[in-house]
Amino acid sequence: MEILLLNQISPDQVVLLQWGFLRITATLLYTWFVMGILILGSWLITRKMSSDVHASRWQNLLEEVVSTIRNQIQEIIHDDPGDYLSFIGTLFLFIGLSNLLLIVPGYVSPTASLTTTSALAICVFIAVPLYGITKQGIVHYLKEYFQPTFIFFPFHIMGEITRTLALAVRLFGNMMSHDKVIAILLAVTPLFFPIIMHALGLLIGLVQAYIFAILAMVYIASATQAHEKKDGKEN
């Protein structure tokens, strides 16, 4: 009895098309699928935007989502969230929708691929110094790596790398293990229990998207606001 399909092990393993080193895998396909939904949905909803008091339900939904993201960012940085909204909001929406679409039969979340989570983590890894340098200047930003003494420079670098790695592995581990646990439970238990686990999985998916986005924001905030750099919010 085959309890795990190949794509359930890792969508990266499923190659749909290949031209030389160009490989269209299931990860990319599902990523485009999620991107398509986000872009198409945004375009459809926002093409008839209304600044009136009475707005459409979908517009209200999007406004609520965007407003919540802005509030979360503002609570962390205590500043205008406009500069970070696009980056943090896209992280949350992409990861969240990727995880919620697990309810679609045959769909495998791109976040269950270490390649995808690593790519997102690298984006955060690059975004942190970019925002830090933009806000503080390169000298002031680099000076933080030598605080309190230059001896701590390697530890700062290790900290940057490890937290990026943790960011990637945490999301990947959670999403990948969820698929695997569902598959195993489906094989050994009656139908109802996996349904509950599936619902729980949707919640976990949203929580993981929230954690990933919040941690990314905390890292960026620590880089842009030196006095809060070691506030330990990532724990």
Partner 1 sequence: MHIDWFVFFAQIVNFLILAYVLKRLLYGRIVKAMDDRQARITSQIEEAQQMKDKARESAEAFEEKNRSLNEMAQDVLNKARDEAGKTRQDLIEKAREEVDLIQQRWYDTLGREKTSFLENLRKRSGTYVFETISRILFDLADQELEQSIVNKFVRLIREAGKESLDLLSHDRALQNTGIVIKSSFEISASQRSMILDELKHYTVADVEINFETSPAMVAGIEMLVSGHKYSWSIKDYIASLEERFAQLLKEEIPSIPDA
- Residue 225 CA, distance from chain mean position: 22
Q: How far is the CB of 87 from partner 1 (least distance, A)?
A: 6
User: In the range 173-192, which residues lie near partner 1 by CB under 8 A?
Assistant: none
H helices within 26-150, ranges in order?
A: 26-46, 57-77, 82-100, 114-136, 138-143
Q: Which of 7, 98, 99, 118 binds partner 1 (CB under 8 A)?
A: 118
Q: Counting contacts by CB under 8 A, is residue 122 touching partner 1? A: yes
Q: Which of 120, 215, 216, 218 binds partner 1 (CB under 8 A)?
A: 120
Residue 86 or 149: which CB sits closer to partner 1? 86
CA angle 68, 162, 204 (to 5 degrees): 40
Q: Which of 1, 57, 86, 192 binds partner 1 (CB under 8 A)?
A: 86
Q: How far is the CB of 36 from partner 1 (least distance, A)?
A: 10
Token output for 91: 């992280």
b/e burial code for range 166-205 (CB count within 10 A of at least 16 → b): ebbebbbebbbebbeebbebbeeeeeeebeebeeebeebb
Q: Which of 76, 77, 89, 171 binds partner 1 (CB under 8 A)?
A: 89
Per CB under 8 A, residues contacting partner 1 are 10, 12, 21-23, 25, 27-28, 31-32, 35, 38-39, 42-43, 46, 49-53, 55, 59, 62-63, 66-67, 70, 82, 85-87, 89-91, 93-94, 110, 113-116, 118-120, 122-123
